[in-house]
Amino acid sequence: MFHQTAPRRPRRGGGVAAEEQLTYGIDFGTSNSVVARYNGDTTEVLPVDSGNVPAQWREPEFEDLFPSVLSVRDFEQTLCFGWDAKTTTGEPIDAVKRMLGTRSAGMEQANEDTPLLEEHHVWIGGEPFRSTAAAAALFAQMKTAASRHLLDLSEAVVTVPANATGGARYRTRAAARLAGIKVKALLNEPTAAAISYATDVDIPGRLLIFDWGGGTIDVTVLDYDGKYFEELTSRGIAALGGLEFDEALARIFLQKAGQVPESLTLQERNRWRRDVELTKIALSRRDIGEMDVDFPALGTSLRVSREEYAAAAAPLIERAMDPLKQCLDDLGIGPADIDAVLMIGGTSQIPEARDAVGSLLGADRIVDPGLCHPMTAVARGAAVYSAALDNHMDRERFSLVTNYDLGTAIAGGARKGFVPIIKRNRTLAARGERRFTPARANAFSLKVEIVEGEAGYAADSDRAFPLGVLEVRLPRPEQDPERNAVVIDFRYDHSGILRVKVVHEATNKLLMEAEIDSFGKDGTPLQQGLDGELHRLLAHADVPFLQNSGAETGQIKEFLGLGSGIPDPGGAETSVQSVPDADLSVNGIPQSRI
């Protein structure tokens, strides 16, 4: 069992001496982001937006948070970020991180052989922007904040959920790069939290990290022997976090009020959402029995008890225990084999969540929040890892693993079959290869559908995440398909980014060697045009948005290839567009909340 000794207390904010060698870590979160730095001895959090925290939002560690939100200022009609964007009465764009790794049309793409990850679009100030550009704008704001403190955030380790798909990892890295931040590596969030804890409380053991924040839940088990970190397994749920608790509480209020959000104006709905979130934070404390909450947007005052909220949240907490149990099953271990449990992220601090984990693993194994920085540990650990990357010997201290089976889709009747090539929990960097032959004689090319999934489940199931369709041009048509066989080498780097190398077997000719950087149906590389799009978005920090006319919006949609069924801001289909959780997909299919 771990002994919880007092850690070295990190410094916060301010300038540093020029001779200090600083490394940086960025926790790009669904709801909030954090930037931390490490000077070889201690970690400290950069005050990206600490001066703008409203009084009603002042909670422990909240001054260290930069809300991952963009919006348009109420009167100036200019772009804003962070706390300003979160508290404006305009239309906030949040949960951008979820868009980076989700299907824009999902399993509804019945006419496609394999559902594809496609770029989402969001409306900001009446203009459409790709979600990767929106994410890049948030990274750019963090970089600008660092420069205000005379710090150069030109490179960093960026964290991702342990169960992030290849598409999400690629897009996260692309967004940071677009903002002028070189990504030294992508690091799994739970592992980063463990590194932060071990930096402060250097006691060996087997750690279980229960990382539950605003958008996702990840559970990772790793061994730390005093020097080396070895990931053993990770499980998670991509869309289960604080946002779902907001929705559960909102349903209680709607039942009491007898109204639905669609009956409210856009400004009223946004203010109502913030009131719900603040109430959730208050009700997450055990000392609150019930609350009277004024909702000007609904024209009423409502009373809600903590008991009601806990009952609504219970199914979410029960579901969150699934990845924890799966991790134990993966390793064939029980609670006695876990030395300490780190509960990281805001949602993990809900008392009922801590009780549920304690009932499964033992409450005495849960590390006190004061020893593990629940809101900032991920960024702190990433900053420490960044320093390790600068030293080859230190880098070898970290053994990271794959979190999905990588394979290909094959014809399998009503559903696509899935053939794993690189198994999950393989140590990174990981590689595997497979031989492929054309499906018919005299073929000019060969197509391979690359999928991250789980052995035993179909390639078009909800457990599969397509990375793209690899199309290989063959040297020449051959009557015998065997003469055009190719061998494809699949290789994950230490960040979980995939590269492929295709060699023609008969001639040993290299046909292709590339990073998988394309997730759309048309095969367009993700970055194409994004630099100009980001510049256009950031220019609105000074230049007001002008609401587009219907004709102008139609021209934009035509340029983007969006269908006519997409609602325009301020257009005839306002009943759809007024819902702030809606966004746009590149193939013209309206999306529900993600």
Interatomic CA distance for residues 130 and 283, integer angstroms: 36
Interatomic CA distance for residues 85 and 69, integer angstroms: 6
Confidence (pLDDT) at 260: 61
Interatomic CA distance for residues 453 and 407, integer angstroms: 7
Confidence (pLDDT) at 393: 62
CA 521 to each of CA 131, 187, 586: distance values in angstroms, whole numbers, following the listed order: 17, 28, 10
Confidence (pLDDT) at 106: 34
Interatomic CA distance for residues 261 and 275, integer angstroms: 13
pLDDT tens digits, the chain, 594 residues: what are they? 333 333 343 433 433 333 457 899 999 999 999 999 999 889 999 988 888 888 888 887 888 999 999 998 888 889 999 999 888 867 788 888 888 865 443 333 333 443 445 567 888 888 889 888 999 999 999 999 999 988 999 999 999 998 887 778 888 888 998 999 999 888 999 999 999 999 999 889 999 999 999 988 999 999 999 888 889 999 988 889 999 998 898 888 888 877 665 666 767 777 778 888 888 888 888 888 888 887 766 667 888 898 999 999 999 999 999 999 999 999 999 999 999 999 999 999 999 999 999 999 999 999 999 899 999 999 999 999 999 888 766 767 787 778 788 888 887 667 788 889 998 888 888 899 999 998 889 999 888 888 888 888 888 777 777 777 888 899 999 999 999 999 999 998 877 788 899 999 999 999 988 887 644 443 445 556 788 889 999 999 888 887 544 444 444 334 333 333 333 333 333 222 222 332 222 222 232 222
Phi, psi of 474 (to 5 degrees): -85, 155
Interatomic CA distance for residues 399 and 426, integer angstroms: 10
CA 252 to each of CA 255, 309, 313, 519: distance values in angstroms, whole numbers, following the listed order: 5, 8, 11, 39
As given in the structure block, the two tokens for residue 230 are 């070895």
232's enclosing H/E stretch is: strand 229-237
Confidence (pLDDT) at 32: 93
Tracing tokens 């342990």 back to the chain, one arrives at: 162
Domains of the chain in sequence order? 23-241+313-399 (3.30.420.40), 405-515 (2.60.34.10)
Where are the alpha helices (H) located in 30-130, listed in sequence order? Answer: 82-87, 96-99
Interatomic CA distance for residues 83 and 64, integer angstroms: 11
- DSSP structure class, residue 400: -
Confidence (pLDDT) at 5: 36
- Indicate the SS3 state at residue 541: coil
As given in the structure block, the two tokens for residue 432 are 């595997």
Question: Where in 285-363 does DSSP place strands (E)?
Answer: 290-295, 300-305, 340-344
Cβ(83)–Cβ(57) below 8 Å: yes
For the chain, counts of helices (H) and of strands (E): 14, 27
